[in-house]
């Protein structure tokens, strides 16, 4: 298929672009490089530097691409930041996303694949989380993604734009070529790995008094290549709706640190800090719907293997991308 990928220079987008190209799809990457990196764009893709805040920019790129499908990764995605600057999240994830939706309708795009998040569930009533659970976000980031999910449903009903929305749990790991480089890193695994890389003296644990077995937050880490595989399946005809994407295994912050120590062979100093606002205690996926309806099954399901792929990339690229 001909595809346009927003955020294709970002962490998750870069690996999805790589896998789309490996699968024989054509890809135009549309990215403003605010978070992404030019070097993270697979050279087989065409790159357009543009911003979703400009409705004309995106329409022109879409028309020129002749895309049948749009995969929308571009977004702000930090829980903590959204608790300090909610406007940034509603502007970029909702208002700029709306520009993209309108351009898709105008350009006659058939399919829209959206990067949503388990943060739309807030603090869930039960775990593991299936798609039928109530969505009650506890941070503006999750709220902004939920608003966009609702918009998608209206655009389907009114304009016939077919969509698949993926609620990612914690994206992690790397491919051989592309990995995680945020200019300001807040994510757990890359922050832990900075210690064995010699770039930090210690890693902070945000909150040790959660109602979890060891008092630290529990998350479901899912490898980028498995996320990419689901996106490719979403392009097949007839695929529709919202799907959780996670391994179904929960690991506490302390367990992730232990896995990093095992994989790197180095001991990692920790600093116990207060809770970070907006963090739910436990997020673990029930991804049965994706398994049944998309035939999807994560292949990298051991935390050690996920961490090992991240470690491999960071060891080879200790300073991340050059730009």
Active site residues: 141
Taking alpha carbons only, the member of 296, 147, 167 closest to residue 232 is: 296
Taking alpha carbons only, the member of 75, 122, 79 closest to residue 95 is: 75
Site for ligand UFG contains 205 (CB under 6 A): yes
Site for ligand UFG contains 11 (CB under 6 A): no
Site for ligand UFG contains 208 (CB under 6 A): no
Stretch that binds ligand UFG, among 33-41, 94-102, 201-209, 293-301 (CB under 6 A): 201-209
Report the residue number, 191 or 301, with the smaller CB distance to ligand UFG: 191
Q: Which class for 116: exposed (0-12), middle (13-18), buried (19 or more C-beta within 10 A)?
A: buried
How far, in Å, CA of 205 to CA of 306, rounded?
Answer: 20
Of the residues 32, 170, 175, 309, which one makes contact with ligand UFG according to CB under 6 A: 170
Do 171 and 227 meet the contact criterion of CB atoms below 8 Å apart? yes
Stretch that binds ligand UFG, among 35-43, 44-52, 181-189, 307-315 (CB under 6 A): 181-189
How far, in Å, CA of 18 to CA of 178, rounded?
Answer: 9
How far, in Å, CA of 252 to CA of 119, rounded?
Answer: 17
CB of 220 to ligand UFG, least distance (A): 8
Site for ligand UFG contains 136 (CB under 6 A): no
How far, in Å, CA of 141 to CA of 87, rounded?
Answer: 10
**Pair type for strands 46-49 and 69-72:** unpaired
Report the residue number, 161 or 253, with the smaller CB distance to ligand UFG: 253
Residues 6+ apart with CB under 8 A from 222: 168, 169, 170, 171, 172, 245, 246, 247, 285, 298, 306
Of the residues 204, 208, 212, 301, which one makes contact with ligand UFG according to CB under 6 A: 204
Site for ligand UFG contains 119 (CB under 6 A): yes
Stretch that binds ligand UFG, among 20-28, 114-122, 125-133, 308-316 (CB under 6 A): 114-122
How far, in Å, CA of 315 to CA of 323, rounded?
Answer: 18
Site for ligand UFG contains 118 (CB under 6 A): yes
How far, in Å, CA of 8 to CA of 15, rounded?
Answer: 8
Question: What mask of x and - would describe binding to ligand UFG in positions 61 to 90, judged by CB under 6 A?
Answer: ----------------xxx-----------
Site for ligand UFG contains 174 (CB under 6 A): no
Site for ligand UFG contains 279 (CB under 6 A): yes
How far, in Å, CA of 118 to CA of 129, rounded?
Answer: 8
Largest CA distance in the chain: 56
Site for ligand UFG contains 169 (CB under 6 A): yes
Of the residues 71, 217, 245, 284, which one makes contact with ligand UFG according to CB under 6 A: 217
CB of 75 to ligand UFG, least distance (A): 8
CB of 13 to ligand UFG, least distance (A): 13
Report the residue number, 186 or 199, with the smaller CB distance to ligand UFG: 186
In which residue are the tokens 């006659």 written?
Answer: 108
Residue nearest ligand UFG (C-beta atom) = 217
Q: Which residues bind ligand UFG (CB under 6 A)?
A: 77-79, 117-119, 169-170, 186-188, 191, 203-206, 217, 219, 253, 276, 279, 283
């Amino acid at each position: 298929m001909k595809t346009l990928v927003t955020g294709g220079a970002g962490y998750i987008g870069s690996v999805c672009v790589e896998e789309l190209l490996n699968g024989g799809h054509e890809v135009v990457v549309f990215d403003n490089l605010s978070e992404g990196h030019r070097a993270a764009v697979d050279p087989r893709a065409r790159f357009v530097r543009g911003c979703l805040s400009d409705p004309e920019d995106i329409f022109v790129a879409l028309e020129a691409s002749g895309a049948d499908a749009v995969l929308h990764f571009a977004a702000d995605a930090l829980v903590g930041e959204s608790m300090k600057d909610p406007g940034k999240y509603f502007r970029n994830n909702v208002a700029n996303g709306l520009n993209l939706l309108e351009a898709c309708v105008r350009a006659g795009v058939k399919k829209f694949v959206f990067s949503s998040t388990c943060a739309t569930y807030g603090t869930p009533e039960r775990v593991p989380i299936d798609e039928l659970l109530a969505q009650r976000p506890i941070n503006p980031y999750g709220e902004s993604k939920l608003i966009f999910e609702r918009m998608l449903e209206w655009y389907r009903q009114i304009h016939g734009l077919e969509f698949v929305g993926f609620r990612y749990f914690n994206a992690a790991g790397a491919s051989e070529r592309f990995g995680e480089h945020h200019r300001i890193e807040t994510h757990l695994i890359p922050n832990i790995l900075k210690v064995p890389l010699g770039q930090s003296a210690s890693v902070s644990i945000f909150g040790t008094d959660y109602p979890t077995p060891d008092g630290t937050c529990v998350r479901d880490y899912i490898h980028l290549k498995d996320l990419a595989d689901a996106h490719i399946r979403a392009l097949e005809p007839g695929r529709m709706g919202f799907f959780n994407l996670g391994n179904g295994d929960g690991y506490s912050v302390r367990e992730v640190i232990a896995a990093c120590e095992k994989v790197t062979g180095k001991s990692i100093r920790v600093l116990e800090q207060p809770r970070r606002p907006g963090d739910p205690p436990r997020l673990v996926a029930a991804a049965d719907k994706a398994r049944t309806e998309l035939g999807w099954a994560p292949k990298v399901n051991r935390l050690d293997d996920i961490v090992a792929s991240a470690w491999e990339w960071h060891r080879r690229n200790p300073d991340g991308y050059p730009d």
